[in-house]
């Protein structure tokens, strides 16, 4: 079943950033929700082993069942298949105090020993940095492309550049850049405020010759829904509707 599962996954897309705290999980979740609403069969592999948040934002609890030697991913209300280490822990606040090679091996097990079944897209939510897990995913999994995530801060752009160069070195196509937390719209007057500084999305995209997929605002509604495990109810997903075209045009 494991071999069949791999062959039945048509496209594998990683969501990456050199820096933590820029919202990779939110981007991965929103991209998955958009694709599912468009009628695609979608899965998310939560590869951020020491800081998993995908089950939380989708409101998933419980342990995966087994089918023979393979784990069965849990499914969200929209039918998105999810596998995360947090689903395998007895307490979701239990820390994972593992060294890099063991963490990377767990990610490979999520690829080889989970019965993903038929999927059009598997999104892989990577941890920050350019360490063992991003390296393992980029070298060992058949990635079709990477979505890079940044935020307006100059420091974030600098560190994301390291992840961009890592993907280029390993010859992994980059689908484009998403700038998260780009602005805040005042709920009373509608004024757009750049609370984390001026947007650097266009600048960063031009610097590395990337497509700017789009900019996501700081949205209290998204935060509230994610905290309550209801990200699938968030409807402002326009920037991810062109993902299938981006993959096909690589």
Task: Note the pLDDT of residue 91.
Answer: 60
Task: Note the pLDDT of residue 1.
Answer: 38
Task: Note the pLDDT of residue 110.
Answer: 92
Once rounded to an integer, what is the mean pLDDT over residues 43-55?
A: 90
Closest to 116 (Cα-Cα) out of 240, 11, 232: 11
pTM of the full predicted structure? 0.91
Whether 93 shows a pLDDT value over 70: the answer reads no
Task: Note the pLDDT of residue 3.
Answer: 44
**Count of CB atoms situated within 10 Å of the CB of 36:** 20
How many domains, the chain? 1
Computed over every residue of the chain, the mean pLDDT equals: 88
Once rounded to an integer, what is the mean pLDDT over residues 30-34?
A: 97
Q: Collapse the DSSP code of 27 into the 3-class scheme (helix H, G, I; strand E, B; otherwise coil) and give the result.
A: helix
Task: Note the pLDDT of residue 94.
Answer: 56
> Does residue 168 or residue 93 have the better pLDDT?
168
**Phi/psi at 86 (nearest 5 deg)?**
-60, -25
Give residue 200's domain range: 2-248
Give just the sign of the alpha carbon dihedral 135, 174, 161, 51. negative
Q: What CATH number does the domain containing 208 carry?
A: 3.40.50.300
Measure the CA angle with vertex 228, ends 230 and 54; round to 5°: 65
- Does residue 84 come out as left (phi exceeding 0), alpha (psi in the -120 to 50 range) or beta? beta
**Count of CB atoms situated within 10 Å of the CB of 178:** 28
CA–CA separation, 32 and 35 (whole Å): 5
At residue 90 the predicted structure's pLDDT band, cuts being 50, 70 and 90, is low
Environment class of 177 (CB within 10 Å of its CB; exposed 0-12, middle 13-18, buried 19+): buried
Task: Note the pLDDT of residue 92.
Answer: 61
Q: 123 near 43, Cβ under 8 Å?
A: yes
End-to-end CA distance of the chain: 29
Cα separation values, 162 from 14, 115, 129, Å: 16, 33, 8
Once rounded to an integer, what is the mean pLDDT over residues 105-127?
A: 94
Task: Note the pLDDT of residue 95.
Answer: 56
Contacts with 209 (C-beta within 8 Å, 6 or more apart), sequence order: none
């Amino acid at each position: 079943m494991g071999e069949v599962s791999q062959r039945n996954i048509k496209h594998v897309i990683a969501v990456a950033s050199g820096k933590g705290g820029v919202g990779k999980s939110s981007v991965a979740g929103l991209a998955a929700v958009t694709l599912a609403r468009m009628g695609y069969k979608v899965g998310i592999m939560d590869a951020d082993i020491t800081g998993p948040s995908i089950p939380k934002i989708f409101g998933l609890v419980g342990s995966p069942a087994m089918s023979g030697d393979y784990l069965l991913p849990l499914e969200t209300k929209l039918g998105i298949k999810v596998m995360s280490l947090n689903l395998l822990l007895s307490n979701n606040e239990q820390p994972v105090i593992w060294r890099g090679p063991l963490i990377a091996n767990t990610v490979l097990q999520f690829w080889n020993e989970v019965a993903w079944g038929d999927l059009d897209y598997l999104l892989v939510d990577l941890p920050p940095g350019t360490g063992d897990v991003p390296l393992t995913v980029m070298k060992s999994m058949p990635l079709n492309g990477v979505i890079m995530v940044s935020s307006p801060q100059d420091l974030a752009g600098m560190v994301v550049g390291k992840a961009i160069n890592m993907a280029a070195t390993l010859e992994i196509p980059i689908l484009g850049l998403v700038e998260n937390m780009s602005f805040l719209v005042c709920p009373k007057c509608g004024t757009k405020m750049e609370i984390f500084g001026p947007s650097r999305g266009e600048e960063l995209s031009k610097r590395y010759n990337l497509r700017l997929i789009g900019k996501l605002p700081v949205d209290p509604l998204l935060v509230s829904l994610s905290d309550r495990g209801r990200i699938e109810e968030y409807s402002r997903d326009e920037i991810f509707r062109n993902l299938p075209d981006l993959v096909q045009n690589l």
